[in-house]
Amino acid sequence: MSMTDIFNITMMQGFAGLSLFSVLLLMGLGLAIIFGQMGVINMAHGEFMTIGAYTIYLMSTLTEAYAPGLIAAYFPVAIVMAFLVAFAFGWLAEWALIRHLYKRPLDTLLATWGLSLAMQQTFRSVFGAREVSPTLPEWLLGSWAPAEGLDIPINGLFVMIVTLIVTGLVMLALYRSSWGLKVRATVANRPMANAVGINTKRTDRLTFAIGCGIAGIAGAAFTTIGSTGPTSGSLYIVDAFLVVTFGGAASLLGTVASAFGIAQTQSIAEFFISGSMAKVLTLLLIVIILMIRPQGLFAAKIRK
């Protein structure tokens, strides 16, 4: 095997990892907002991703049944619907459950774990135990070949573009919107935020719902690389928490860097060694780095 072949294979594995990077980043962004900004350990975060994936499947099924001529254009609309549906369920979950458990991280862990099991059973009852896949538009299929022997999947490029747009919007919202100002004020000093007229309970609910909505977009991205089942989201919850912890719990920039590093390391290593060993190698590297830098790659600056 020539050096050119090795380079092309490495590049293709790297681009194949873009889809995994997109899912991990979107999951990590939602968790970084909920866990990093609010201190809530949401073990049901993967199920909100599954809600987004099933929304894409339902939109695909309805479009094929009632408007087959729009099958080429439904996917961007379905991504927006995935966000809105997951947002709505997140809003409901915060109102019914999470708001009673703030400042009790162990209780939120146990309660949201129970919520995740209940949601998985609901998915089985509504959609069945078998995995399903939406019909993707033709423009999402195939690959782009910028050079001979180098094929880049189009769906990976599209999902990466969507991910970059969502990441940019989240950062813009956190630092340039009234909601972001209220979130940062609440995180910095909740009693003082209440004293100046910020409705912190409403801010908490909106923040949790937005984090769940971003997980719904992650589910939309997931449908381009795999089929959806009742437990699809739970397969990514550990990786999503690794992304947030490794990058720094309160750092969105750290979340981006962490998701990219984990996805690329795992994807490239999978070609040269088995999938399970690639996972072990990735986890081993994370553990070693966290032993050296336990606060994560990008620790939040705290004024002393």
Lowest mean pLDDT among 50-59, 165-174, 179-188, 208-217: 179-188
DSSP 294: T
For the ranges 24-33, 158-167, 192-201, 209-218, the maximum mean pLDDT occurs at 209-218
CB 123 within 8 Å of CB 51: no
Lowest mean pLDDT among 146-155, 211-220, 278-287: 146-155
Residues comprising the chain, all counted: 304
* pTM of the predicted model as reported, rounded to 2 decimal places: 0.88
C-alpha span between 125 and 155 (Å, rounded): 30
Q: Which of 140 and 275 is assigned the larger pLDDT? A: 140
Q: What is the mean pLDDT of residues 191-216?
A: 91
Angstrom CA distances, 197 to 87, 100, 194, 200, stand at 25, 21, 5, 9
pLDDT of 303 higher than 50: no
Report the chain's mean pLDDT, rounded to a whole number: 85
Angle between helices 74-96 and 45-66 (to 10 degrees): 140
Q: What is the mean pLDDT of residues 6-33?
A: 76
pLDDT of 50 higher than 60: yes
